[in-house]
Amino acid sequence: MPSNAMRLSAAAVTIALTIGGAYLASGLRYVVPEANASTTDTENVSGYQINIHDTRSDQGKLLIMAFDHQEAFDALDYKAASGYLEIPADAASLRVDFPDLTEGYHAFFVLHDENGDYELNFEGELPSEGYAVSGTNEAYGEPVFDYSVIVPGTHDLSVRYWLP
* Interval 105-118: pLDDT, tens: 999 999 999 999 99
User: Looking at residue 44, what is its pLDDT?
Assistant: 55
pLDDT over 90 percentage in the chain: 65
Q: How many CA atoms lie within 13 A of 55 on its CB side?
A: 25
Distance CA 57, CA 67 (A): 26
Q: Which residues contact 110 (CB under 8 A, 6 or more apart)?
A: 50, 52, 62, 63, 64, 65, 131, 132, 133, 157, 159
Q: What is the pTM of this model?
A: 0.73
pLDDT over 70 percentage in the chain: 73
Sign of the CA dihedral running 140, 56, 73, 147: positive
